[in-house]
C-alpha cells in the first residue's frame, strides 16, 4: 500500500524466513516502482523477533535508504524492543514512531521543509 509517497508494509507474526525474504524483495521493487520517499514498516503484530527477523528489518531499512527512502518502524511492542536490545541489534538508521499516521506525518513533514 502507498500513502502520500510512502510504502506501507505490515509484517505478520506468522511469516517464515522465506516469506520475509520475499517481502523484502517486494518492498524494494515497490519503492523503485512508486519512487517512494518513505517506507513505514508496521510490526505491531509481532510478539517476538529473532535475529533473522531483526536482520531483515535492518536490511529493508538499508535498502530503502540506498534508494533514497526514509524508513520508520511503527507498532513496536515493549517485549520486541527488549528482545532486540538483548540480541545486540541496534537497527542503525531506523527510526520508530508510535503508529503509521505519525510516521507518515514525520516523513511528509520533513519533505515539505526541504522544499
CATH number at residue 73: 3.30.750.24
How buried is 53 (Cβ within 10 angstroms: 0-12 exposed, 13-18 middle, 19+ buried)? buried
Q: How many structural domains are present in the chain?
A: 1
30 vs 94 pLDDT, higher one: 30
Q: What pLDDT score was predicted for residue 112?
A: 52
Q: What pLDDT score was predicted for residue 21?
A: 85
pLDDT of residue 75 exceeding 70, the answer is yes
SS3 content of the chain, % helix, strand, coil (to 5): 50, 15, 30
Q: For the whole model, what pTM was predicted? A: 0.86
Residue range of the domain that includes 55: 2-114
Amino acid at each position: 500500500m502507498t500513502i502520500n509517497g510512502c510504502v506501507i508494509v505490515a509484517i505478520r507474526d506468522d511469516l517464515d524466513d522465506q516469506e520475509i525474504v520475499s517481502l523484502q524483495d517486494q518492498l524494494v521493487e515497490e519503492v523503485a516502482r512508486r519512487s517512494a520517499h518513505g517506507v513505514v514498516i508496521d510490526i505491531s503484530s509481532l510478539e517476538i523477533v529473532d535475529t533473522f527477523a531483526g536482520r531483515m528489518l535492518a536490511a529493508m531499512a538499508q535498502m530503502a535508504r540506498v534508494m533514497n527512502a526514509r524508513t520508520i518502524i511503527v507498532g513496536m511492542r515493549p517485549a520486541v524492543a527488549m528482545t532486540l536490545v538483548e540480541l545486540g541489534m541496534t537497527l542503525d538508521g531506523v527510526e520508530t514512531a508510535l503508529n503509521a499516521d505519525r510516521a507518515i506525518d514525520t516523513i511528509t513533514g520533513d519533505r515539505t521543509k526541504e522544499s
